Chains A and B, each alone.
Chain A
Amino acid sequence: MRVLTVDDSPTILSMLRHVLSGAGFEVVQAEDGQKGLDAMKREDFDVVITDINMPVMGGIEFIRNVRASGVNKSLPILILTTETSKEKRDQGRAAGGTGWIVKPFDPEKLISVIHRVVH
């Protein structure tokens, strides 16, 4: 199973890589939404995990772009964010986000949330 993780924080990226590759996922990482889109042009993924606040292209715009691209309508996208307010989360969902993960994340929970949205 292939996961694309998009986050501008090296800390979060390294933790995600650790947890996800430990769970047997193939992990590709991108530092912002634009790089995430670039990665998606190059290869296909089973699930995408993205941060909201990022330079160059933020998570909301990234999700919108992914959904607009036509071929990724049924690709699960999880929003990874520290936002505890519902506001951000709803924005992400309105853009097409499938679900969310609240940072800091519990490794087991992260995996189970992924399994909740991926076949």
Chain B
Amino acid sequence: MSDLDEFKATYFDECSELLLELEEQFTAIEEGDRDTERMNAVFRAIHSIKGGAGAFGFDKLVEFAHSFETLLDFVRDGRVELTDEVVTLCIRSIDLVADFVGAAQEGEDLSPDFGAEELARFKFLSGEEDETMEEFDIDFTPVMVAVGDDEPIVSDELNSSAEEAGTESDSFEEPPMQDGERYWKIVFTPHYELYERANDPLLLFRELSALGETKIVASITELPELQKFDPFGVYCSWVIELHSSEVKQESIEEVFEFVEGDCELEISRVMADADNDLEPVNLEQANLEQANLEQANLEQANLGQKENIPTKEASETNAENSQSADADLEADEGLSLADLAASIEPAPAPKPEKSKPVVAKVKTPETKAATVQSIRVDLEKVDRVVNMVGELVITQSMLTQQMDDQLRARYQEMVRGVEVLAQTTRGLQDAVMAIRAQPVKSVFSRMPRLVRELASKTGKSIRLEMVGEHTEIDKTIIEQLSDPLTHMIRNSADHGVEIPETRLAAGKPEQGVIKISAEQAGGNIIIAVEDDGAGINRPKVLELARERDVVGPDQQLTDEQIDELVFAPGFSTASAVSDISGRGVGMDVVISNIKKIGGSVHVRSTPGQGTKMLLRLPLTLAVLDVMLVEVGTGPYVIPLSSIVETVLCEKAEFGYAPSGRRVLQIRGEYVRVIDLVERFEMEVNLEEHRRYVVLCEGEGNSKVALIVDKIIGQQQVVIKSLEENFKRIGGIAGGTILGDGNVALIVDVQGLKNTPEQKSAA
């Protein structure tokens, strides 16, 4: 990755964070919270987006963000009132900024008039004229702007004052000076403020020397007698000769750029042959600053800087010259010792030694210093650590496995060491997982925009509630969560929440509510999307399912089973296919995405009251607690989280349902039986009574009994994708490499329940 790409990546990361922040702040503002700090935060966010965009030459984004920022600035200081209309404009504009950022990231071009309407509104509201924008454009041309080029006002003043002084400003640019004939003469008189801002004449001289040969003469005629000398007073001025055939006036002015207003400066071209070296011939008053005005800005009488004043003996002195403009100024500044003493007294005596503790001076509370520090790390690096920790976990569990009683008895110390290693490994694993964990907020925050868009498209009134957005999940899972969550919310907005009239007729409030929540429950994260709409229309779902042969004509389904049908592939109950929920491809996408990351989906619906969809997700993707079993001749693993209990077959009670399907009777409950050997088409080579039943819990409390040949034990495995390395196999969720190097397949419990074989076996 080139540096620029890396910076861009950082920038886009930053943008997505800032956009989330904007979304969040404006949601609060929309709800009536007009805290000024919120306005400051949104202003800063837009400002930062603009700043970075300027660096990379994203001109359209810069332009839009600039106008947006101007409006926000006006709102912030009260020049523009924050009406509902402005809030709505801002919220829409955040979406547009997101689109601009997205286009910049993808390198796409948006249509030239994209956002033009909003841009016009900004300009109208903030009374911004196009002129400003043009000037702005110049400043933000992609190639970085030279410092100080952006002060046309000053150069205007310059020209006019030069003209007033009766000289042609053009002549500065024309013929470069001939060495020995003409040179630049600079009369420089620093003011008190120059030192206060940590500028240093010596540095300026050093920079002038870089332009050409210099001859610097200090004027110390203002230096008072010793008794009247104020160590922090400003008494010195300088006359500098700059001999160079090339240098232009602009270059000299640039040297003094930072001290403009803090000094008096005369720059003039002088004939070398004329009379005396420093005789003011043709003195062109180029840049006479309004020193007196600046003086009013003098903030404090705490003169700490003045140790910098060069009091070196000047080799030559020329009184006539340096006296010219600054005599009355110095008097004005009131540098009599008495005055200064009076003004210094109340201030603490400045002590330049670094050893003095500064703490007492800083008023902010200590607690702020303890804020969380963070670093940005390439995700790949974290993943590498996660993977290695995963392998470490496996190696460790392999070691533990091989410790039989004999070994334990003989090598006690080693065994203890391995046990400590096991603990440490577990701790390391948790710590690494915590690095990858992120609050689900980053996904949740995208949803308000979605709901707004859906509400306006469907003509419904919908409020979004979010709960538990600080719940943390593995970053990879979060990334996989966005699509399913979007589909679920679309489904709720499109099929769940009713139109206002229907809601009113049903005695519900006009505004529908969609609630998304996240919570941690054991080793899982539960994400729920809930609406207070009409609920799933079961008769209609069943009718459609029969029509499409998803359900057999005689098959009886429980309410719960009917609800789950909405996740069947190619299934949609929308009366008309809408452009929101699409053609029924949505919900089975939810299922497959969630399954891919080891999660499950479940739906519960109450007619007339609403629907609740539950996503159950693993806390982490990388390592899975499993039970290692043997089926046929090979090892398989079953996720421990789905196992309820295990029973020896001879102790289990089997029976047959009226449909002919084999069932397990356990504690008064009948559970469907799946023999993995049959299911995976292998040879049964064990007597039935020596095999085991593994009772697993699928979704919605429905259980399934898997029959396996042997139970080997529990351990942790690192999941490897089958699809990436081989291909997708029904009933198998992935693979893993065991401690002894063998590959074991991970049984997909939920998938087994739903595969067509099961239905045909029924």
Contacts and interface: CB of A to CB of B under 8 A. Distances in A.
Interface string B274-308: 00000000000000000000000101001011011
Interface in A86-119: 86, 93-94, 96-107, 109-110, 113, 116-119
B139 interface: yes
B333 interface: no
B14 interface: yes
A102 B139 contact: yes
Contacts of A100: 147, 258
Nearest to B373: A35
Contacts, number: 161
A9 B197 CA distance: 25
A97 B51 contact: no
B144 A109 contact: yes
B361 interface: yes
A41 B151 contact: no
A117 B198 contact: yes
A1 B547 CA distance: 78
Contacts of B54: 82, 103-104
A75 B199 CA distance: 9
Contact of A116 (B47, B197, B258): B258
A35 B196 CA distance: 24
B147 A101 contact: yes
B6 interface: yes
B505 interface: no
- In this complex, the interface size class of chain B, counting residues with CB under 8 Å from chain A, is 35 or more
A102 B150 contact: yes
A94 B300 CA distance: 11
Interface in A46-100: 53-57, 65, 67-71, 73-77, 82, 84, 86, 93-94, 96-100
Contact of A41 (B147, B196, B261, B358): B358
A73 B198 CA distance: 6
A8 B362 CA distance: 21
Given A10-B10, A14-B10, A71-B353, A119 B144 contact: no
Contacts of A77: 197-198
Contact of B354 (A44, A54, A82, A101): A44
Contacts of B656: none
A99 B262 CA distance: 12
A106 to B, nearest CB: 4
Interface in B1-60: 3, 6-7, 10-11, 13-14, 40-41, 43-44, 47-48, 50-52, 54-55
B368 A56 contact: yes
Given A70-B351, A75-B198, A104-B145, A34 B14 contact: no
Contacts of A105: 144-145, 147
A38 interface: yes
User: Which of B13, B54, B146, B358 has most chain A Cβ within 10 Å?
Assistant: B358
A55 B44 contact: yes
B390 to A, nearest CB: 29
Contacts of A104: 51, 54-55, 140, 144-145
Contact of B197 (A69, A84, A98, A101): A98
B368 A106 contact: no
Interface string B340-373: 0000000010111110101101101000110100
Nearest to A18: B3
B381 interface: no
B322 to A, nearest CB: 24
A15 to B, nearest CB: 5
A61 B305 CA distance: 19
Contacts of B149: 102
A97 B197 contact: yes
Nearest to B351: A70
Nearest to B135: A84
A102 B196 contact: no
B175 to A, nearest CB: 27
B410 interface: no
Given A99-B258, A106-B144, A113-B147, A69 B199 contact: no
A84 B139 contact: yes
Given A8-B48, A14-B7, A75-B198, 12 more contacts: A11-B10, A14-B10, A34-B368, A69-B358, A70-B358, A71-B351, A73-B304, A77-B198, A86-B151, A97-B197, A104-B54, A109-B146
18 contacts: A8-B44, A10-B10, A14-B10, A34-B364, A41-B362, A44-B354, A53-B44, A68-B302, A70-B361, A71-B351, A74-B308, A76-B198, A82-B50, A82-B51, A84-B135, A97-B197, A105-B147, A119-B202
* 5 cross-chain pairs, A with B, having the tightest CB-CB distances, nearest first: A99-B258, A73-B304, A106-B144, A104-B55, A11-B11
